[in-house]
Structure 1
Amino acid sequence: MARLLVVEDDETIGTVLDSSLRAHGHEVSWTRTGRGALAAAAGHDPDLVLLDLGLPDLDGVEVCRRLRVQLPGAVLVVLTARTDEMDVVVGLEAGADDYLTKPLRLDELRARIRAHLRRGGPASSSRGTVELGALFLDLAGRRVTVAGAEVSLRAREFDLLARLAADAGHAVSRETLMSDVWDVNWFGSTKTLDMHIAALRRHLGATGARGLPEIVTLRGHGYRLDPPT
């Protein structure tokens, strides 16, 4: 999960983004102005910023430029209702990593967020950690510990566990796991996914520790990592 900053002056859109992203486990700070965005960026150090370019107080492109200076390691995604290609180009040149046009599709937005965080957000930074009961993942160091003892995983096993942990408590389809962990253009058998799931269960089960999350099979869909109760 990550710290997200939403900069959106439209009350309806902002409310939808705030509730949807929180429902998926993210820590969300929502502000409606450019000045609020600059203040929030300084105070909350977000991993990813969703920035509407049409702000009421400051030019969105200038806010983007200043956020890039303030947050050199964060992902900046601009949201725009503008259809002119030049506006998008200017936003990207100001430091944005990506853009989405309104009206937004929430599934696409969440997929983009996951992809960016995987490639350049907290998963690759020193603060990228996940803790679920006795299970602790150090994403930057690619280490897994259970009750303080390190567990040795192969590269794909680690990536799969990290991907499930990113949406702990939520169903993740087989197609999404294959695309995110292996490759978007994977054409081979998905049996390899089942083999890696089985290996993860063996590795975690072999520790004998209590308070571990459970990898639940969802027949006909995929898997879910349930946090310990």
Structure 2
Amino acid sequence: MTRVLIVEDDSDIRAMLARGLEAEGFSVGMAGCVGDALTAARDDAPEAVVLDITLPDGSGHDVCRSLREGGYPGPILFLSARDEVRDRAEGLALGADDYIVKPFVFDELVARLRTHLLRRKESDEPRTIVTAGKLTLDLNTRQMNFGDASARLTPREAELLAMLMDQANKPVSRGDIFDKLWASQGGLSLNVVDVYVGYLRSKMADFVRFGGPILVTVRGRGFMLDLRGQDYRH
């Protein structure tokens, strides 16, 4: 039985989510603050976390950051009343898989949760290392390496890089990237692709200095991982 940790300070919402998820066949753990959430994540080994942002002793962002820095591999779904684009972008940048705004439709939450659990299960299949030229990406640790340089990625950054590595030296359109990685989440625009490409470029800066691959913008066609050292922006 798949165990889900609910982190929510409102006891009524917490109880409603627990009843609903248990009725859908999930095993449920609950926490109402940052401290209890981190303890439950450590002791109960949940396979997914549904996480509010506003908590009495800190923020859901603190929980998400701590879990990802500690290597937690499961889906993290923010469930928050904060509906600004910057709030969603910050949550996803910290390593969350999804961001759902309150008030929400419970059936949609369950559907998204199951989608992300299935995606994680599929990612646990035999392929663990992606290579493109001398660039490697470990999908388990989300560490990319080029020579002696390395960098750790968030789950979504790793998915984006793996997609670009699989199509190395070929442009991949914003639409294709968005459809594969973000279309199921709702409320986001194509601009999220540019944001994450920017994150990747920043983390690959050391690689470029050592003659590594370049993540370029191909005008009118999208983005490309260039292994040949050519600039296709012009």
TM-score with structure 1 setting the length:
0.52
Structure 1 counterpart of 2:5, one-letter code: L
Deviating more after overlay: 40-49 vs 65-74: 65-74
Question: What aligned pairs does 1:166-181 form with structure 2 within 5 A after superposition?
Answer: none
Which residue pairs with 1:26 in the alignment? 26
Deviation at 1:117, TM superposition (A): 1.0
Structure 1 counterpart of 2:84, one-letter code: D
RMSD value over aligned CA atoms? 2.1
Compared CA separation, residues 86 and 30, structure 1 to 2 (3 A): same
Which residue pairs with 1:80 in the alignment? 80
Which residue pairs with 1:116 in the alignment? 116
Q: What is the distance in 2 between the residues matched to 1:35 and 1:110?
A: 26
Which residue pairs with 1:89 in the alignment? 89
Question: What aligned pairs does 1:25-104 form with structure 2 within 5 A after superposition?
Answer: 25-104=25-104
Q: What is the distance in 1 between the residues matched to 2:53 and 2:69?
A: 17
Q: Could you give the per-residue CA deviations for residues 125-154 of structure 1, whole angstroms, max 9, x where no partner exists?
A: 79xxxxxxxxxxxxxxxxxxxxxxxxxxxx
Structure 1 segments of 4+ aligned residues over 3 angstroms from their partners: 121-126
* Structure 1: stretches of 5+ with no match in the other structure: 127-183, 185-229
Deviation at 1:121, TM superposition (A): 4.4
Deviation at 1:72, TM superposition (A): 2.8
Compared CA separation, residues 13 and 67, structure 1 to 2 (3 A): same
Q: Could you give the per-residue CA deviations for residues 177-217 of structure 1, whole angstroms, max 9, x where no partner exists?
A: xxxxxxx9xxxxxxxxxxxxxxxxxxxxxxxxxxxxxxxxx
Q: What is the distance in 1 between the residues matched to 2:122 and 2:30?
A: 19
TM-score with structure 2 setting the length:
0.51
Give secondary structure in 1 for the equivalent of 2:54.
coil
Q: Is the 8 A contact 2:74 2:117 kept in 1?
A: no
Q: Is the 8 A contact 1:3 1:28 kept in 2?
A: yes
Give secondary structure in 1 for the equivalent of 2:118.
helix
Q: What is the distance in 2 between the residues matched to 1:4 and 1:39?
A: 14
Q: What is the distance in 2 between the residues matched to 1:122 and 1:10?
A: 33
Give secondary structure in 2 for the equivalent of 1:25.
coil
Q: What is the distance in 2 between the residues matched to 1:82 and 1:53?
A: 8
- What fraction of aligned residue pairs are identical, expressed as a percent? 41
* Structure 2: stretches of 5+ with no match in the other structure: 127-183, 185-234
Give secondary structure in 2 for the equivalent of 1:82.
coil
Q: Is the 8 A contact 1:77 1:99 kept in 2?
A: yes
Deviation at 1:40, TM superposition (A): 0.3
Q: In the comparison of the two structures, how many residue pairs are matched?
A: 127
Give secondary structure in 2 for the equivalent of 1:6.
strand
Which residue pairs with 2:173 in the alignment? none
Deviation at 1:120, TM superposition (A): 0.7
Q: What is the distance in 2 between the residues matched to 1:43 and 1:65?
A: 18
Q: What is the distance in 2 between the residues matched to 1:32 and 1:73?
A: 22
Deviating more after overlay: 67-76 vs 32-41: 67-76
Give secondary structure in 2 for the equivalent of 1:62.
helix
Q: What is the distance in 1 between the residues matched to 2:64 and 2:42?
A: 14
Give secondary structure in 2 for the equivalent of 1:74.
coil
